[in-house]
Amino acid sequence: MNKPVGPFEITIQESDGFTVIQLKGKFIYGQTDTARQKLNELDITSNGYIFDLSQLSFIDSTGIGTLIHFSKRVGTKKIAILVLDPLILQLFTISKLHLIFPLVSTHDEAVRKIKDGYQTPFTFDE
């Protein structure tokens, strides 16, 4: 929470067959509707979905719920989450998200995990 906090933003870009979803600011109660709508409209034929949370300052249980909601659409094998902030990483770990998604620290690692068909203990297909 020490990093500068701007308004919440979600940007979606294609990169080498992968969809990169970047979240910035605070992904919290009162801000998740926009993201949920954009994710619901997203084409789910991509090779994989990389949630880039490197610019995210905070996420709460409603933000986590939105990630879970999306994973039910596309299957967890096609998702990797790039997370650097120690507090967000701690929150994901206590919420056991590491059992569902690979949590990675670089874009390349995210691509590699998805390409290799990396499986977490609770992986499921769409």
Partner 1 sequence: MIRVQIDCPAQHEYLELMEGTYQSTLEKVCFAGRHALYVAVHEALINAIEATQQTYGEETRETVSLQMTASPAEVVIHIIDSAGGIPQDVLDRQYCTTLEDRLWEENGRGLLIMKQMADELWFEKTDDGRQLVGLRKRGEHTSE
Give the DSSP H/E element, type plus range, for residue 53. Answer: strand 48-59
The correct pick among 3, 72, 73, 115 for binding partner 1 (CB under 8 A) is 72
Question: Rule CB under 8 A: is residue 98 a binding residue for partner 1?
Answer: no
Write the CB contacts of 49 (distance below 8 Å, at least 6 apart in sequence): 18, 19, 21, 70, 74, 78, 79, 80
CA–centroid distance for 12 within its chain: 12
Q: Which of residues 24-43 bind partner 1 (CB under 8 A)?
A: 28-30
Question: Rule CB under 8 A: is residue 65 a binding residue for partner 1?
Answer: yes
Q: Are 122 and 99 in contact (CB under 8 A)?
A: yes
Residue type present at position 36:
R
The correct pick among 46, 54, 55, 95 for binding partner 1 (CB under 8 A) is 95
| Closest approach of partner 1 to the CB of residue 15, in Å | 27
Q: Which of residues 18 and 24 has its CB atom nearest to partner 1 in the complex?
A: 24
Q: Say if strands 79-82 and 48-59 run parallel, antiparallel, or are unpaired.
A: parallel
Residues within the interface to partner 1 (CB under 8 A): 1, 28-30, 58, 60-62, 64-66, 68-69, 72, 87, 90-91, 94-96, 99-100, 122
